[in-house]
Every structure is written in structure tokens, then in C-alpha cells.
């Protein structure tokens, strides 16, 4: 009876290898949907490990070379091909099997064809151009393929094996007594993989494992000491490079749960999604206590991939941005809704909060709708915005007081005398509009005169710190109080 191979990749606690594991998971999932898979194929990502059953390592090797490495190569020339006149639809169709044919028969100039066909024969792993194993320094694709195939072969052979079994499998590479400095599980070796006939000493460098400045970096922790990287971690590092190259994250999040790690990175940390989708807000809120560490990802043609640890406040900022996006998404704009929403998100992205404030005030009394509820929702959202803005500008923990302005709005509404309900409604809308216009223009003197007049004519009580709030408070305080005033003034429900 044929036994089904079971492989396990355990979480190492290092951001590079663990991101490598989630990328491997994504690649395996893609493979599963791309290929008609034979037999039982089972891939599960758990908190502590990625479990794979029934996989043939050769299938994975083929898929990475034919699909992943080709896509990395294509991404590198995509824009140029477009510029040189090859249509996007044609570029999209390109794959490893038809590339030569399509390029040869295309409308490209002869010298361009030659250039791209030559480039096509030099497809390597990203960010390790100078690697003698997986980069251009290996001399040829053939050599690179030989080395990579050997790596995959070893990785799956030593997977889940005990020390003695590993020593046996790695005999050719002269196992040493040390264990890998990343996973602390696998045996390290004195010799390295090479396509050459001679023996090659294993020297650790970014070509085996990249870490620069990451918090959990064992290279940093061990300083100048000799490090030993096992073949599995070397393989996961290559998966990590694919992740960076294919998904182009600006920020990486690290947390000690693989399932969660994949979730936050694929859904939250790929920043472009954050800015487009505020539905993650709730989920993000739940992540607060999970001890996530964030890294900025910088790619450098010489140094490879660099991760720099972000200070924790970055995380707070991220949450603030998501909350702002939530407001922008749920605001009722008086016209061109989709356009206004996108514009607000642009302002958030570029931290142009004053422009965001202008747009929100201009649309606060959304007259496209007769629905009072929508206007009240805008006012509430505007106050939320002011609160967030205030904590961004003044630092957290700065709470706004409404200085009885909401009471003033309610009292004024009750005392306003008029011949009909309709007239009162129109009157109220006009007053609200005048006030928001003055707010937008920062016309504090005008607002003071106008409100004082209303207070006297309608015989209502003047709030505490009334003149101080209007004339001398900070912009955010004023906007918050006026928002409270409008809320009380326009709300129909609270009438008793």
C-alpha cells in the first residue's frame, strides 16, 4: 500500500521564515486550484504549523519555476512591454509556454524582441541576483534549476525527521553538531548545495537567509557569531522573497499565530486594501491585544529586502486611518457620492486632514436627501472625525467637551416660534446652513453675532463659556461644539 507523505512546517518565531510559510501555503492553494490534483491533497494552516499531505515535491518545484518565477520575471518587464506597444491583454496572456512565440510574432521591433527573448532565458529568484545558487551568478537557468530542485528535494526529505535520519539524508553535505539558528530544529551542514563538481563550503549570507534589522533577527542577536541556517529555513526565505516580490507589501505584521499572520498580512497589511475597505475595522479592533509587531518593508537593489521595526504608535495610526475611512465610507455626500468618497480617502492616505475637514463640512447638511436621519448621521460622523483629528493633532487622551452647546441647540429648537411646522423646518435648515458656512470660513465673529441674536430673540439660556468657546477655543473644539449644537438643533426625535 502506498503511504501518503505528511509534511509539517512549524512556526519558527522569525518573521522571515514564518512569512515564508504563509506564502508557501498560498502557493499550494493556488497550485491546488490550477492543477487537476491527483489523489488526496490536503493543506491546512494552523496556529503553529502548515500541514501538507499527499504533495509531490516535484510538482511544487515545477509550479514555482513555471508560474511563480515567470510572474516575477513578467512583473519586471510588464511596464516596459506596455510602453513599447504590447497591449495589456497580450501581456496578461503571456506564460512560460507561449512567451517565445508571442514575443517573436508580436509587433515589437526586432531588437526589442531579441532583448526580451534573451531576458526570458535569465529568470531567477527575486532580490538575490548575486546568489550563486538561485540568482544570475549561478551562471545559467539550468544551474539555478539544479540547485533549487536539490533544495526542495532536501527540504521535503528532512521534513519531520529526527536528528539521525537527517544526518543520514544530509551525509553528502557533512552535517555539523549545530542546529539551525532560526528554527533550532533542523541540522546544519558544513557544505552547501552547488551545481559545480567541487565541494562548496556553506557560508551564511543574505543569499541563504535575509534579515536586516528585524526585531527577532538571530543574526543581530548573535552578532558576529557563526550562524547556521538549515535548508528548510533557506527554502522558506526564498518563499519570503516571492511573497515580497509578488504581493509588494509596504508593511508586514508579525504575530505568533500562523493562521492569523496570514490573515493580517493578506487582508490588512497590504496597505492598498486598508484604504479601500473599512469593513476590516471591527476585526482590526479585535487585534489590538494580540501583540502585533509591524515592519516597514524596503527593497534595495544592493541589500535585498530590508525590514525595519515600526514603533507601536504606527499601529495606533493605522487604526485611526481605518476609523477615518469608516467615516468617509458612511458619510452622506450631497452630490457625486463615489467621487467624494474617493477624494476623502485620498486625503486620509496623504494625511491632508484640513482638506478632509472642508469636504466633510461642505457636505454635512446633505440636501440631496430630505432624510433628517442622514443629516444627523453626518453630524455624528463629523464629531467622530473631529475627535480623531484632535487626538492626531494634540496627542491621544484629549477629550472634547460640548460646553452645553447641544442643550443650546435643543432649547433653541423648542423655543423657536413660527406659524407652521414646515416653516420651522425650513428655518432650522437655513440657520444650520448659515452656521456651517460660517464654520467653514472660520468666521467666528459672524457666528457669535448670529447665535447671540438667536439666543436673545428666542429667549433661551446662554451656555457656559459661550463667548470663549466661539471666539477663543481651538478649531477642533469649536467644530466639536458646533456639531453638538447642530445635533441638538436638528434632531426631531428628542422632542418631549
Of 15, 55, 152, 180, which lies in the binding site for Zn ion, with binding defined by CB under 5 A? 180
Which one, 232 or 323, has the nearer CB to Zn ion? 232
Q: Which of 28, 31, 45, 183 binds Zn ion (CB under 5 A)?
A: 183
* Residue 291 Cβ vs Zn ion, minimum distance, rounded to whole Å: 23
| Cα–Cα distance, 374 to 400 (Å, whole number) | 23
Asked if 52 contacts 227 with a C-beta cutoff of 8 angstroms, the reply is: no
Closer residue to Zn ion, CB minimum distance, 142 or 174: 174
- The residue with its CB nearest to Zn ion is 180
* Minimal distance, residue 179 CB to Zn ion, in Å: 8
Cβ closest to Zn ion, residue 12 vs residue 436: 12
Round to whole Å and give the CA distance between 239 and 254: 16
Q: How far is the CB of 54 from Zn ion (least distance, A)?
A: 24
Nearest alpha carbon to residue 184 among 14, 8, 6, 7: 14
Residue 181 C-beta: closest distance to Zn ion, Å: 8
Q: Which stretch binds Zn ion (CB under 5 A): 87-95, 179-187, 452-460, 479-487?
A: 179-187
- Residue reference for cell 416660534: 417
Interface pattern 222-261 for Zn ion (x via CB under 5 A): --------x--x----------------------------
Locus of grid cell 548573535 = 222
| Contact set for Zn ion, span 348-367 (CB under 5 A) | none
Q: How far is the CB of 235 from Zn ion (least distance, A)?
A: 9
What x/- string results for residues 256 through 285 when contact with Zn ion is judged by CB under 5 A?
------------------------------
Contact predicate 403/481, CB 8 Å = yes
CA dist 289 and 405 (Å) reads: 36
Q: Please count the CA atoms within 13 angstroms of the CA of 225 that sit on its side-chain side.
A: 11
Check: CB of residue 379 under 8 Å from CB of residue 364.
yes
Q: How far is CA 382 from the centre of its chain?
A: 26
The residue among 183 and 439 lying less far from Zn ion, judged by its C-beta, is 183
Q: Of the two residues 186 and 194, which places its CB atom closer to Zn ion in the complex?
A: 186
Q: Which is nearer to Zn ion, 233 or 269 (CB)?
A: 233
What are the grid coordinates assigned to 109, written together? 521591433
Per rule CB under 5 A, is residue 186 in the interface with Zn ion?
yes
Closest CA to 207 of 146, 133, 300: 133
Angle, vertex CA 56, rays to CA 1 and CA 266, nearest 5: 130
Stretch that binds Zn ion, among 33-41, 166-174, 176-184, 336-344 (CB under 5 A): 176-184
Residues 6+ apart with CB under 8 A from 144: 124, 125, 133, 134, 135, 138
Q: Are 252 and 240 in contact (CB under 8 A)?
A: no
Contact status: 64 vs Zn ion (CB under 5 A): no
Q: How far is the CB of 230 from Zn ion (least distance, A)?
A: 3
| CB of 216 or CB of 400, closer to Zn ion | 216
Quote the CA–CA distance of 194 and 435 in Å, as a whole number. 76
Q: How far is the CB of 15 from Zn ion (least distance, A)?
A: 14
Piece of 133-141, 175-183, 269-277, 435-443 that binds Zn ion (CB under 5 A): 175-183
Q: To the nearest whole angstrom, how small is the minimum distance from the Cβ of residue 239 to Zn ion?
A: 13
Residue 70 Cβ vs Zn ion, minimum distance, rounded to whole Å: 28
Which range of residues in 81-89, 122-130, 185-193, 442-450 is near Zn ion by CB under 5 A?
A: 185-193
Q: Whose Cβ is closer to Zn ion: residue 233's or residue 292's?
A: 233
Vertex 355: Cα angle to 354 and 357 (nearest 5): 60
Q: Which is nearer to Zn ion, 178 or 374 (CB)?
A: 178
Residues in the chain: 496
H or E, element range at 6: strand 6-10
Q: Nearest approach, Cβ of 74 to Zn ion (angstroms)?
A: 31
Tell me, rounded to whole angstroms, the distance of Cα 207 from its chain centroid.
26
CB closer to Zn ion, 23 vs 487:
23
Q: Is 170 in the site for Zn ion (CB under 5 A)?
A: no
Distances (CA, A) of 384 to 111, 323, 345, 480: 59, 9, 16, 9
Q: What's the rounded Cα separation, in Å, for the pair 329 and 322?
A: 10
Note every long-range contact of 311-315, with CB atoms under 8 Å and residues 24 or more positions apart, other chains counting: none
Q: Which is nearer to Zn ion, 18 or 402 (CB)?
A: 18
Rule CB under 5 A: say whether 182 interacts with Zn ion: yes
Q: Write the DSSP symbol of residue 67.
A: I
Least Cβ distance, residue 211 to Zn ion (angstroms) = 13
Kindly state the number of chain residues that form the binding site for Zn ion, as judged by CB under 5 A.
6
In whole angstroms, the minimum distance from the beta carbon of 49 to Zn ion comes to 14
Chain residues in the site for Zn ion (CB under 5 A): 180, 182-183, 186, 230, 233
Amino acid at each position: 500500500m502506498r503511504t501518503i507523505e505528511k509534511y509539517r512546517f512549524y512556526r519558527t518565531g522569525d518573521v522571515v521564515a514564518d512569512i515564508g510559510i504563509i506564502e508557501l501555503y498560498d502557493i499550494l492553494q493556488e497550485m491546488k486550484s490550477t492543477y487537476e490534483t491527483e489523489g488526496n491533497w490536503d493543506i491546512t494552516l494552523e496556529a503553529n504549523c502548515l500541514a501538507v499531505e499527499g504533495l509531490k515535491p516535484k510538482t511544487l518545484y515545477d509550479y514555482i519555476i513555471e508560474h511563480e518565477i515567470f510572474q516575477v520575471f513578467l512583473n519586471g518587464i510588464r511596464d516596459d512591454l506596455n510602453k513599447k506597444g504590447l497591449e495589456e491583454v497580450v501581456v496578461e496572456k503571456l506564460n512560460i509556454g507561449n512567451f517565445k512565440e508571442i514575443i517573436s510574432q508580436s509587433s515589437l521591433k526586432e531588437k526589442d524582441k531579441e532583448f526580451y527573448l534573451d531576458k526570458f532565458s535569465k529568470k531567477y529568484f527575486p532580490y538575490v541576483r548575486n546568489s550563486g545558487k538561485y540568482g544570475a551568478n549561478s551562471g545559467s537557468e539550468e544551474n539555478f534549476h539544479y540547485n533549487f530542485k536539490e533544495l526542495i528535494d532536501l527540504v521535503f526529505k528532512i521534513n519531520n525527521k529526527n536528528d539521525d535520519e537527517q544526518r543520514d539524508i544530509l551525509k553528502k553535505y557533512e552535517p555539523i553538531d549545530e542546529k539551525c539558528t532560526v528554527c533550532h530544529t533542523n541540522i546544519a551542514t558544513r557544505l552547501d548545495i552547488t551545481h559545480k563538481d567541487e565541494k562548496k563550503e556553506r557560508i551564511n549570507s543574505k543569499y541563504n537567509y535575509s534579515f536586516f534589522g528585524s526585531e527577532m533577527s538571530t543574526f543581530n542577536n548573535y552578532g558576529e557569531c557563526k550562524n547556521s541556517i538549515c535548508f528548510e529555513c533557506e527554502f522558506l526565505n526564498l518563499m519570503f522573497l516571492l511573497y515580497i516580490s509578488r504581493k509588494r507589501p509596504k508593511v508586514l505584521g508579525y504575530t505568533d499565530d500562523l493562521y492569523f499572520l496570514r490573515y493580517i498580512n493578506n487582508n490588512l497589511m497590504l496597505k492598498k486594501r486598508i484604504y479601500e475597505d473599512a469593513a476590516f475595522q471591527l476585526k482590526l479592533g479585535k487585534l489590538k491585544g494580540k501583540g502585533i509587531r509591524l515592519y516597514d518593508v524596503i527593497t534595495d537593489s544592493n541589500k535585498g529586502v530590508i525590514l525595519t521595526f515600526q514603533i507601536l504608535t504606527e499601529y495606533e495610526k493605522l487604526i485611526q486611518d481605518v476609523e477615518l475611512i469608516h467615516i468617509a465610507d458612511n458619510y452622506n455626500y450631497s452630490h457625486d457620492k463615489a467621487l467624494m468618497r474617493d477624494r476623502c480617502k485620498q486625503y486620509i492616505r496623504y494625511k491632508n486632514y484640513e482638506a478632509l475637514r472642508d469636504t466633510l463640512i461642505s457636505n454635512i447638511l446633505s440636501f440631496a436627501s430630505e432624510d433628517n436621519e442622514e443629516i444627523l448621521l453626518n453630524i455624528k460622523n463629523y464629531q467622530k472625525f473631529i475627535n480623531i483629528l484632535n487626538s492626531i493633532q494634540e496627542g491621544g487622551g484629549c477629550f472634547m467637551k460640548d460646553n452645553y452647546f447641544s442643550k443650546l441647540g435643543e432649547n433653541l429648537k423648542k423655543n423657536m416660534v413660527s406659524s407652521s411646522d414646515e416653516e420651522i423646518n425650513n428655518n432650522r435648515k437655513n440657520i444650520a446652513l448659515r452656521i456651517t458656512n460660517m464654520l467653514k470660513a472660520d468666521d467666528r465673529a459672524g457666528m457669535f453675532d448670529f447665535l447671540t441674536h438667536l439666543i436673545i430673540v428666542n429667549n433661551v439660556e446662554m451656555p457656559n463659556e459661550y463667548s470663549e468657546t466661539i471666539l477663543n477655543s481651538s478649531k477642533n473644539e469649536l467644530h466639536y461644539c458646533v456639531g453638538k449644537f447642530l445635533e441638538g438643533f436638528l434632531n426631531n426625535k428628542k422632542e418631549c
